[in-house]
């Protein structure tokens, strides 16, 4: 896989980058997700996340992880193409892949200063305990009403249902 202008890092490379940032007094922000069918809600969310510190690390679910979470028909866009789209965004500084259903393990390895999740996850933020125990904070982002990948897929299916007959 291409590293898309140096933005795609291994977990070990991301830890080293975090250490470099800390030596310079900078804060690393972390978020995660599938980001299947990138849409305006994602852009708003990622821009907000980036504003919470000096660099944004996005942990991207691998295709296998998306299937565990969303079912066998997902992702619509494979991990390499999702990473390529995300790396093209100015607000995303780094992308790391993770294979688990939840990001707690990768959060524990990277130990970001700020963990951002959407308010739709307010009831449970995976990795909150790890980040806060390390002196970091959790920030909840507002969600853009009516924009979700699942809703977009449903709209496409409904819109083209008659044509498929």
Over the stretch 137-155, which tens digit does the pLDDT of each residue have? 999 998 877 667 777 777 7
Confidence at residue 165, expressed as pLDDT on a 0 to 100 scale: 64
Answer for the pair 82, 48: CB distance below 8 angstroms, yes or no: no
Whose structure tokens read 């294979």? 99
Q: Which helix (H) or strand (E) holds 56?
A: strand 55-61
Confidence at residue 5, expressed as pLDDT on a 0 to 100 scale: 74
How confident is the model over 51-101, as pLDDT tens digits? 999 999 999 999 999 999 888 988 999 999 999 999 999 999 999 999 998
The DSSP secondary-structure symbol of 25 reads T
The structure's pTM equals 0.90
Q: What are the structural domains of the chain?
A: 11-164 (3.40.50.620)
């Amino acid at each position: 896989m291409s590293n898309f202008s140096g933005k795609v890092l291994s977990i070990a490379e991301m830890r080293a980058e975090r250490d470099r940032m800390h030596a310079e007094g900078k804060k690393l922000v972390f978020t995660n997700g599938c980001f299947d069918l990138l849409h305006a809600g994602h852009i708003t969310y990622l821009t907000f996340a980036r504003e919470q510190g000096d660099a944004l690390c996005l942990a991207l679910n691998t295709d296998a992880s998306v299937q565990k979470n969303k079912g066998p028909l997902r992702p619509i866009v494979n991990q390499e193409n999702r990473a390529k789209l995300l790396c093209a965004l100015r607000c995303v500084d780094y992308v790391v892949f993770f294979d688990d259903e939840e990001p707690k393990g990768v959060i524990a390895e990277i130990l970001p200063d700020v963990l951002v999740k959407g308010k739709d996850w307010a009831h449970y933020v995976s990795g909150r305990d790890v980040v806060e125990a390390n002196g970091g904070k959790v920030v909840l982002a507002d969600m853009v009403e009516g924009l979700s990948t699942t809703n977009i897929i449903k709209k496409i299916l409904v819109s083209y249902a008659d044509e498929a007959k």
